């Protein structure tokens, strides 16, 4: 068959993937965007795929399912789904789909190359169309940009108790840099704040929770992370209407950039708080966002353990292990992390402490505290701002 581009091969986990040779698309300044190649393959997302295979393995194990089917509706070279078939025990069927027939053709070639033709089928339809006519335990959305338009059909395609994973690479809206675009896509007002990466995850989860409620479904976060300029969330989807589901898990962010005080408030209390403490004082309001947990504790434990176990054999990225390990420490700590950088600049502190030092100091004083994978200068703590400043000064 005729190839869509000059090809090369890369090894990822247990897979060998034939993909467009990005060297052929480098511009005169030596830069290349993977989107310039006829079939999309981004080598810089390998680490995210490493983590994704471990997350899916944890889901299969914890859900105690014998057989799991997976749909990847924007599959490009097919790398993600082929790795699922090769590296995740229990994956019995993978449906790959790419609206571009060139991509579907290359994905089929990769499926054959990796010997998984029995398990992996490749289609070339419009994403909404394949989602409207297919059901699976796991739906994986890995779009270029926002996943927002695909959440609705993806939720419908997930079987009861199944898993929906979605990547978002449209960080300028989600981080509050383009708030108007965030309102348009996610209908949430994202603040510019030092915790904006966590906020981005909470905005996406809020959006998914809303889409789910509309369709008579509820979600429970299974795993969420920020890595290399994208966020990714995986949620359990259940077909049931639970009264109070949105009221309990959605809320607003109260943030005072002058003092760094912050708080998540359930929606029902938002209007009362409005009249009282917000009057004056420089508070700003963000959201709505998901205010519930970002990680299932059993998922977090299993993923950090399993990532470590597989890392050497499959040559999984080191950064993925750091993410999984930090998440397992931060998962039960308070929402909306601080950063040492912001504390120092806001309170005109001469010397910046490392987040690690500060966490140790706060723990010593009896405040449960941790680092966060969201930001290397970030930390979570039950201490309030005054306590943080006191710990900062301590030696």
CB 341 within 8 A of CB 356: no
Backbone angles phi and psi of 284, in degrees to 5: -120, 155
Three-class SS of residue 265? strand
Question: Phi/psi zone of residue 35: left (φ > 0), alpha (ψ -120 to 50 degrees), beta?
Answer: alpha
> Which residue from 132, 309, 364, 386 is in contact with a second copy, where contact means CB under 8 A?
132
Smallest distance from the beta carbon of 391 to a second copy, in angstroms? 33
Nearer to a second copy, 57 or 169 (CB): 169
- Report in angstroms the alpha-carbon separations of 335 from 36, 76, 94, 197, 292: 38, 35, 36, 12, 9
- Identify whether 116 is preceded by a cis peptide bond (ω within 30 of 0): no
Helices (H) and strands (E) in the chain — how many of each?
15, 15
Question: Within positions 172 to 191, which residues make up the interface with a second copy, using CB under 8 A?
Answer: 180, 183-187
Smallest distance from the beta carbon of 205 to a second copy, in angstroms? 14
Round to whole Å and give the CA distance between 78 and 134. Answer: 18
Binding region for a second copy (CB under 8 A) out of 33-41, 53-61, 86-94, 145-153 = 145-153
- Identify whether 288 is preceded by a cis peptide bond (ω within 30 of 0): yes
CB 206 within 8 A of CB 290: yes
Smallest distance from the beta carbon of 160 to a second copy, in angstroms? 16
Question: To which H or E segment does residue 245 belong?
Answer: helix 245-249
Number of residues located near a second copy, criterion CB under 8 A: 35
213 interacts with a second copy by CB under 8 A = yes
The residues pairing with 15 across neighbouring beta strands, listed in sequence order, are 12
Binding region for a second copy (CB under 8 A) out of 34-42, 48-56, 124-132, 232-240 = 124-132
Nearer to a second copy, 159 or 305 (CB): 159
Nearer to a second copy, 34 or 286 (CB): 286
Smallest distance from the beta carbon of 152 to a second copy, in angstroms? 4
Nearer to a second copy, 210 or 310 (CB): 210
Site string for a second copy, 239-278 (x = CB under 8 A): --x-xxxxx-----------------------x--xx--x
Round to whole Å and give the CA distance between 42 and 315. Answer: 17
Site string for a second copy, 29-48 (x = CB under 8 A): --------------------
The residues pairing with 70 across neighbouring beta strands, listed in sequence order, are 94, 138
Nearer to a second copy, 217 or 310 (CB): 217
Question: To which H or E segment does residue 361 belong?
Answer: helix 355-364
Q: Which residues bind a second copy (CB under 8 A)?
A: 126, 128-129, 131-133, 148-149, 152-153, 156, 180, 183-187, 210, 213-216, 241, 243-247, 271, 274-275, 278-280, 285
């Amino acid at each position: 068959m005729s190839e869509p581009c000059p090809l090369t091969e890369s090894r990822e986990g247990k897979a060998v993937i034939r993909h467009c040779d990005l060297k052929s698309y480098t511009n005169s300044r030596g830069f290349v965007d993977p989107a310039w190649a006829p079939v999309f393959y981004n080598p810089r997302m390998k680490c995210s795929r490493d983590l994704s295979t471990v997350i899916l393995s944890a889901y299969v194990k914890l859900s105690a399912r014998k057989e799991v089917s997976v749909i990847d509706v924007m599959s490009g070279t097919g790398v993600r789904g082929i790795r699922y078939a090769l590296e995740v025990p229990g994956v019995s069927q993978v449906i790959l789909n790419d609206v571009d027939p060139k991509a579907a053709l290359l994905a089929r070639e990769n499926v054959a190359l990796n010997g998984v033709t029995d398990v992996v089928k490749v289609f070339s339809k419009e994403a909404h169309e394949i989602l409207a006519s297919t059901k699976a335990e796991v739906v994986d959305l890995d779009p270029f940009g926002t996943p927002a338009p695909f959440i609705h059909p993806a939720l419908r395609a997930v079987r009861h108790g199944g898993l929906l994973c979605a990547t978002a690479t449209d960080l300028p809206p989600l981080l509050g840099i383009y708030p108007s675009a965030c309102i348009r896509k996610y209908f949430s007002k994202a603040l510019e704040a030092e915790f904006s990466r966590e906020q981005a995850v909470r905005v996406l989860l809020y959006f998914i929770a809303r889409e789910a409620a509309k369709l008579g479904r509820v979600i429970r976060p299974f795993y969420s992370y920020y890595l290399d300029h994208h966020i990714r969330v995986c949620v359990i989807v259940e077909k049931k209407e639970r009264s109070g589901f949105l009221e309990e898990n959605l809320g607003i962010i109260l943030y005072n950039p002058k003092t760094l005080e912050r708080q998540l408030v359930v929606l029902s209390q938002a209007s009362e708080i409005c009249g009282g403490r917000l009057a004056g004082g420089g508070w700003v309001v963000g959201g709505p966002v998901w205010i519930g947990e970002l990680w299932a504790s059993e998922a977090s434990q299993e993923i950090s353990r399993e990532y470590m176990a597989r890392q050497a054999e499959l040559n999984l990225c080191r950064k993925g292990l750091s993410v999984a390990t930090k998440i397992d420490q931060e998962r039960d700590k308070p929402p909306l992390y601080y950063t040492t950088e912001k504390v120092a600049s806001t309170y005109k502190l001469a010397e910046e402490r490392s987040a690690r030092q500060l966490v140790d100091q706060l723990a010593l004083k009896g405040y449960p505290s941790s680092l966060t994978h969201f930001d290397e200068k970030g930390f979570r703590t039950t201490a309030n701002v005054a306590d943080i400043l006191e710990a900062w000064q301590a030696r």
